[in-house]
Amino acid sequence: MEALLVIVVVLLAMRLVGALALVLVNHGRRRPPARPADPCLSPVWALPPVPMTDPEQALLDRLRTGEIGRGQYRAAIADIAHQAAAAPSLRAPAYRPGRACPNSRP
């Protein structure tokens, strides 16, 4: 009878030690908060693609779901258009006759 009691106590002790070991192992595996991935590196790291944020599409989605009304949508689109108009536009360098390329030297 004493042998059976010893076996039960040993099994319970092993089960408690195993549970404690699993808790400690899982505690050590906590990851830091995920940073947004660079969209250029997502294919290299086999990450899911990062959705691009298009403000016009986001506004349209909010209009469709009813979060904003038509007036708010029009005002927000007007703000986006105003910001785009105020941003400096990219221009190609001026072409000068006599040069093969605008950046080449004679």
Q: Residue 13: which pLDDT band, with cuts at 50, 70 and 90? A: very high
Confidence of residue 77 (pLDDT cuts 50, 70, 90): very high
Q: What is the mean pLDDT of residues 17-29?
A: 78
pLDDT for 76 equals 94
List C-alpha distances in Å: 63 to 1, 37, 55, 69, 81: 76, 29, 12, 6, 17
Task: Encode pLDDT of 34-60 as tens digits.
Answer: 666 566 766 677 766 666 678 888 898
Q: What is the mean pLDDT of the chain?
A: 78
- Measured CA to CA, the distance from residue 106 to residue 95 in angstroms comes to 13
Closest by CA to 58, choosing from 71, 45, 68, 43, is 68
Distance from C-alpha of 27 to C-alpha of 5, rounded to nearest angstrom: 33
Q: Does the pTM exceed 0.75?
A: no
User: Please, which pLDDT band fits residue 101 given cuts at 50, 70 and 90?
Assistant: low
